[in-house]
Structure 1
Amino acid sequence: MSGPRVLTFANQKGGVGKTTTVACLGAALAEAGRRVLLVDLDPQACLTFSVGLDPDAIEVSLYEVMLGLVDPRAVVVGTEEGPDLLPASIDLAGCEARLLPVQDREYRLRQALTRIAEDGRSYDDILIDCPPTLGMLTINGLTAADALIIPMQCETLAYRGVGQLLDTVTIDVVGITNPNLRILGVLPTLYDGRTAHSREVLADISQRYGVDVLEPAIPRTIRFAEAPAAGRTLLATDSASKGAKAYRKLAKSLLGPEFANF
């Protein structure tokens, strides 16, 4: 495989564990010896905060990169757990309006990642955390990706967002900006195997959407919510927990032969 594998994590429904997944999976891949770059495309900058940076103290962020104001190679920063980061700031909230008249607006993130690779920064995996919308930032994340993973909370109301996202992927992305995008599958999150409802939702995902269900399902635990306050992931704050073990198992599966080309 030439070049890094770019995985985008998207779901326009908020609160599904998307940012937690990017942070924890990135840490797990780094533990496995992979060179990882995290990309925070969300104006809320939760990923940036979760890995120990203060979004309000960042002088330049992905906002300036997307508008072509700075070289993306100058914006990449390191994190304590190993992955590098393209950080976000609240300024990203104004990015979509600024990009609206730009001809190549859907390709700005792809161009930035290509520029970073030209600097000799050899990453194995690039993980992109999209905002909970289907706007231009998410389209950029999908256009830049080799593959899409959809974190989905194991609750009935989460179904609606997945269907809308798949429509956008098929029509606007695969049909126009990134015909090679592969949907790796839905990642069940906030899963409580003790409840019949969670088990029923999990069993219905593949049949309803015709996509694979990635394993393992990520368990519901308050530990995930506590970790960002320390600026670390659960793999650092509670390494032996079920949640940390689940993300390590997910990382191992993504390194398997069936995903070797993505």
Structure 2
Amino acid sequence: MRPDQTVGGPSADEQAEETQWPSPWDDDLPLAREAQRAVRVLNPGGDGQLPRPTRRRVLGIANQKGGVGKTTTAVNLGVALALHGNRVMVIDLDPQGNASTGLGVEHGAGTPSIYEALIEGTPLGEVTQAVEGIPNLVCAPATIDLAGAEVELVSVVAREARLKKALAGYTHDIDYVLIDCPPSLGLLTVNALVAAEEVLIPIQCEYYALEGLGQLLRNIELVKVHLNPTLDVSTILLTMYDKRTKLADQVEQEVRGHFGDTVLKSVVPRSVRVSEAPGYGQSVMTYDPGSRGASSYFEAAEEIAVRGAAMGTK
């Protein structure tokens, strides 16, 4: 008798053979859930289409506070909408050019950019670039020249409406225009607010979240009264949510209590993957489509798309 056998019972080897190990694709396993999220986000078969809006939607993504996720939001919402059947343009209006980097779009010195469209009147169609690997997504990049645009715009006729004029001349079919604003309230941001019909405000779930928000809302109201009566704060997205802290929950409750249904149900968690993706010239949607960050941005895009489909035509 082998030492691993007992009288009248199976051997240890036989017991191991009879053990039913779960498949890595069982729905309840983390690996399976991640794979399901990845398929849903990437939409490889093109079956999971998001509804298209009844008309072109132009959203300025603004918050005068830096580091709240404006660029990350512009990039990932743009990719999510484009992967699911919408035609999208991302306009990088921040001289740092981070949205251009995040989309893997060339924006070195000498590249045709949004600067030429604003200052020289170059047609927007001549400065946009297709984003590699993402059908239906184009980007108007920002170059270092944009850093001087605030000063140059001062002497330009109808300086606040230069971007609006450029967009009016863009005749290609487009469903969404997402404008990544700089973290300031200068002429570039004013151009975005005049060109847009809607404002999307990312708010981080941290201590200084609401600092400066009142001033931003006052400026939006001033633009609405004097320059763009159709402007509306249509969407607020909570970002950098850390469920381990009571503070994040307090900020969320305060924002939802004040702004109500303007706040998307989707909340973007603080995520290493979201932070890493731009370093590879990608959105988190393509860098790690199975991650919580990618799934959260997809859910936010889904909410925005459903709201857009419900809008009436003008």
TM over 0.5: yes
Q: Does 1:140 align with 2:152?
A: no
DSSP 3-state at the match of 1:29? helix
C-alpha change, 1:110 and 1:56, in structure 2 (3 Å) is same
- The C-alpha deviation readout for 1:79-100, integer Å capped at 9, x for no partner, is 0223101110111111111111
C-alpha change, 1:160 and 1:210, in structure 2 (3 Å) is farther
Q: Does 1:192 align with 2:242?
A: yes
DSSP 3-state at the match of 2:235? strand
Q: Distance in 2 between matches of 1:253 and 1:2?
A: 15
Name the structure 2 match of 1:174. 224
C-alpha change, 1:251 and 1:174, in structure 2 (3 Å) is same
Runs of 4+ in 1 over 4 A off after TM superposition: 208-211
C-alpha change, 1:234 and 1:58, in structure 2 (3 Å) is farther
Name the structure 2 match of 1:95. 149
Q: Which runs of no fewer than 5 residues in structure 1 stay unpaired?
A: none
Q: Distance in 1 between matches of 2:147 and 2:242?
A: 34
Q: Does 1:43 align with 2:95?
A: yes
Maintained 8 Å contact 2:105/2:129: no
Q: Which amino acid aligns with 2:102?
A: S
Aligned-residue Cα RMSD (Å) equals 1.7
Aligned equivalent of 1:122, options 165, 173, 194: 173
Counting matched residue pairs gives 258
DSSP 3-state at the match of 1:98? helix
Maintained 8 Å contact 1:22/1:129: yes
TM-score by length of 2: 0.78
Q: Which amino acid aligns with 1:55?
A: H
DSSP 3-state at the match of 1:157? coil
Q: Does 1:75 align with 2:127?
A: yes
Q: Which amino acid aligns with 2:122?
A: V
Maintained 8 Å contact 2:194/2:227: yes
Maintained 8 Å contact 1:13/1:161: yes
**Deviation of 1:228 (Å):** 0.9
Q: Distance in 1 between matches of 2:252 and 2:158?
A: 38
Name the structure 1 match of 2:77. 25
Name the structure 1 match of 2:311. 261
Name the structure 1 match of 2:56. 4
DSSP 3-state at the match of 1:52? coil
**Deviation of 1:46 (Å):** 0.3
Aligned equivalent of 1:62, options 101, 114, 120: 114
Name the structure 1 match of 2:104. 52
The percent of aligned pairs where both chains have the same amino acid is 41
DSSP 3-state at the match of 1:37? strand
**Deviation of 1:210 (Å):** 6.7
**Deviation of 1:255 (Å):** 1.5
Q: Which amino acid aligns with 2:187?
A: M
Q: Which amino acid aligns with 1:75?
A: V
Q: Distance in 2 between matches of 1:137 and 1:211?
A: 29
Computing the radius of gyration over CA atoms, which structure comes out larger, 1 or 2? 2
Q: Distance in 1 between matches of 2:122 and 2:148?
A: 17
C-alpha change, 1:215 and 1:234, in structure 2 (3 Å) is same
**Deviation of 1:127 (Å):** 0.6
Maintained 8 Å contact 1:163/1:209: no
Maintained 8 Å contact 1:150/1:162: no
**Deviation of 1:132 (Å):** 0.3
Q: Which runs of no fewer than 5 residues in structure 2 stay unpaired?
A: 1-52
Name the structure 2 match of 1:163. 214
**Deviation of 1:156 (Å):** 2.2
**Deviation of 1:141 (Å):** 0.6
Aligned equivalent of 1:229, options 272, 279, 294: 279
DSSP 3-state at the match of 1:160? coil
DSSP 3-state at the match of 2:66? coil
Q: Distance in 1 between matches of 2:110 and 2:260?
A: 41
DSSP 3-state at the match of 2:294? helix
C-alpha change, 1:75 and 1:30, in structure 2 (3 Å) is same
Q: Distance in 2 between matches of 1:58 and 1:20?
A: 25
Q: Distance in 1 between matches of 2:102 and 2:271?
A: 16
**Deviation of 1:55 (Å):** 2.1
**Deviation of 1:181 (Å):** 0.8
